[in-house]
Amino acid sequence: MIALDVKVKKRRHDFDVDVSFSCKGGEMLVLVGPSGAGKTTIVRLIAGLEKPDDGRIACGDEIWADSGRGIHLPPQKRCLGYVFQDYPLFPHLTLGANAAFSSHDGAEVERLMKRFGIHHLRDHKPDRVSGGERQRCAICQALARVPRVLLLDEPFSALDVSTRRILRDDIVAMKGNLGIPMIYVTHDISEALAIADVLVPVVAGTVDRSWIDSPRSGKEPEEQILHPKAARRRRLSLVH
Amino acid sequence: MKLALICTVILLAVAAPLAGLLAYSRFRGKSFLEALFNLPMALPPTVMGFYLLIFLGPRGAIGSLWEQWTGAPLVFSFLGIVIASAVYSLPFALMPMKTAFQKIDRRLLESAYILGLTPVSAFVRVVLPNSINGIATSAVLVFVHSMGAFGVLLMVGGSIPGETRVASIAIYEAVQSLDYGEAGRMSLILLAISYAFMLVMNRLSRN
């Protein structure tokens, strides 16, 4: 299974993003941190929507970006799935046409739409369905093109709690079958702990594990990327 | 009418990619180019007509090439007034389309790129279908504006019956020859058509 290796620097007006991590195939890596910490910038760098000032992004043997060698593959050539927070589906197309937008396999699109419970809505336009249904369609659209990496940028934060939980469980259940690196962005620490295989806390553009350990005080300089079980134990130790 | 229809079709095809370029691209000299495209809106029609007459005339850059190629002059021909009318109405095609393109959520385009579309296919498959109102507004404005063109067409086309005598020139000539009945009939038709188009535009801007 291919792995996604990321080591990037990007200057922003408020701070510099400078992170390094690796995500294996079939693994869910969660970028967690406060709003405005640079998580979305990292995902956009991986997607190719922004160009790193310095660093390298590689998916298996394929180099997507390498500032030293002047390589920057456009998003079109990275073959990835990207689900945005409030996903803007193409408003002029039905859910069926949205899901099949970049797929050549009609049967697979049908299967995905059934799997996510929106097959009966395939002839509806996005403005005629609920936010949860739109987001299900967005996931179908991202998966239908058989991506090499799946990026989920706060995909369910605009949804109600129960729909969020159902969709999150669906994604986690598919993780093994997909076998691709999955990057999930959230500001919700409990959501991150519930689904992460690897947790990468991001604060002001850098990996900062102290945000997990003690969000208020900020300590503990040890290893930067935290495995969720360890993080969960730390959190539990904070609960009286 | 024929001139306005042809002009509308040609301008929509030409202005859509130009408006896309102005809406989405950043390049040096963009504001100069945009001002040049919008110049016909500010220029007096006779000034515009004068320059077009020079360029399209037998000694002009475009006119001489055309004459060498086809053997026929470009000015005082139907094709000549189509070109003149298209140049004259270009800003009316560009502006509504550019505004409509700029209103499209940037993330829709990013999402199209991620889904593998080139910028050109994203423009055709995502931008154009979501800008129908802007495109229709352009079409209505260009049609009405071309139908009312007078000074430019008189300079470039003269008033050759059956070839370059358009409705607005015919009305002027009817008045000059004191044929108020004919002028009134033609004016009433133009008034009705223009009003109908304005109603269509109102409907489009409401949506």
CB contact under 8 A, A75 and B113: yes
| CATH for the stretch B2-206 | 1.10.3720.10
B34: Cα separation from own chain's centroid: 15
Task: At B130, give phi and psi (nearest 5°).
Answer: -95, 10
Arithmetic mean of pLDDT, A44-61: 94
For chains A and B, count residue pairs whose Cβ atoms are closer than 8 Å.
Answer: 42
Q: Give the count of beta carbons closer than 10 Å to the beta carbon of residue A9.
A: 16
The domain made up of A4-79+149-238 is a member of CATH 2.70.98.40: no
**pLDDT 10s digits, A193-235:** 888 899 999 998 888 877 776 544 344 434 456 667 776 666 6
| CA separation, residue B112 to residues A153, B34, B105, B185 (Å) | 16, 27, 11, 52
Q: What per-residue confidence (pLDDT) applies to A110?
A: 94
No. of helices (H) and no. of strands (E), chain B:
11, 0
Which residues of B lie closer than 8 Å to A, measured between beta carbons?
Answer: 105, 107-108, 110-118, 126, 129-130
pLDDT-flagged residues of chain B (< 70): 207
CB contact under 8 A, B130 and A75: no
The residue ranges of every structural domain in chain A are 4-79+149-238, 88-146
CB contact under 8 A, B118 and A76: yes
For A237, residues 6+ apart whose C-beta sits below 8 A from its C-beta are: none
Burial annotation A196-216 (CB, 10 A radius, 16+ → b, else e):
bbbbbbbbbbbbbbbbbbeee
Between β-strands A62-66 and A182-186, what pairing exists: parallel, antiparallel or unpaired?
A: unpaired
Handedness of CA A200, A205, A209, A212 (dihedral sign): negative
What's the CA gap between A204 and A37, in Å, rounded?
Answer: 5
Out of B107, B116, B118, closest to residue A145 by CB:
B116
What pTM value is reported for the model?
A: 0.81
| Residues of chain A with C-beta less than 8 angstroms from the C-beta of B121 | none
- Name the residue among B167, B108, B193 with its Cα closest to residue A89: B108
ipTM, 2 dp: 0.84
Question: Residue A238: which pLDDT band, with cuts at 50, 70 and 90?
Answer: very low
Say if residues A138 and A82 touch (Cβ distance below 8 Å): no
